[in-house]
């Protein structure tokens, strides 16, 4: 139902972010889930890490944007921009929810392929 290589990159980026932002937690928790629906497949990566202030959610998918200090959490700031681009290329949507010090949940949904597309 999509480019396996690119969708693997989406999961890699989201799981890397979850790992990075939970590394300072005494009891880190990262979850992945998928819910296939009739029209689309929805997935999520949830963690109990640093989280973020939802006021700045619109900045998350812009290249080179960071909501945390580089010294605190290293990275280039292009991971989520890459995720957004790949999911949109697949005709899907991506969004993130979080709260400071209460973790983050990254969601994405992509349409199912129809038989005619195969």
pLDDT digits (tens, 9 = 90+) for 5-55: 999 999 999 999 999 889 888 999 999 999 999 999 999 999 999 888 878
Here the CATH number for the domain that contains residue 48 is: 3.30.565.10
Q: Residue 108 forms beta bridges with which residues?
A: 43, 94
**Domain enclosing residue 63, as ranges:** 4-117
Identify whether the C-beta of residue 30 lies closer than 8 Å to the C-beta of residue 4: no
pTM of the model: 0.82
Contacts by residues 56-60 (CB-CB < 8 Å, ≥ 24 positions apart): 57/96, 57/97, 57/98, 60/96
Contacts by residues 59-66 (CB-CB < 8 Å, ≥ 24 positions apart): 60/96, 61/94
Spatial strand order of the sheet with 104-111 comes to 30-36, 40-47, 104-111, 93-98
For residue 114, the model assigns a pLDDT of 44
Span 59-113, pLDDT tens digits: 888 875 665 555 565 566 678 999 999 999 999 999 999 998 899 999 999 999 7
Sequence-distant (6+) residues with CB within 8 A of 71 are none
Chain centroid to Cα 49, Å, comes to 14
For residue 115, the model assigns a pLDDT of 42
Q: How many domains does the chain have?
A: 1
Sequence-distant (6+) residues with CB within 8 A of 81 are 61, 62, 63, 64, 65
């Amino acid at each position: 139902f999509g480019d396996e290589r690119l969708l693997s990159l989406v999961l890699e980026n989201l799981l890397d972010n979850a790992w990075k932002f939970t590394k300072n937690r005494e009891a880190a928790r990262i979850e992945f889930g998928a819910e296939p629906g009739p029209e689309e497949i929805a997935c999520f990566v949830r963690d109990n890490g640093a989280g973020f202030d939802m006021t700045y959610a619109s900045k998350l998918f812009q290249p080179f944007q960071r909501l945390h200090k580089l010294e605190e959490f290293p990275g280039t700031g292009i991971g989520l921009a890459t995720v957004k681009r790949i999911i949109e290329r697949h005709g899907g949507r991506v969004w993130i929810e979080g709260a400071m010090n209460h973790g983050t949940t990254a969601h994405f949904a992509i349409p199912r392929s129809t038989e005619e597309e195969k």
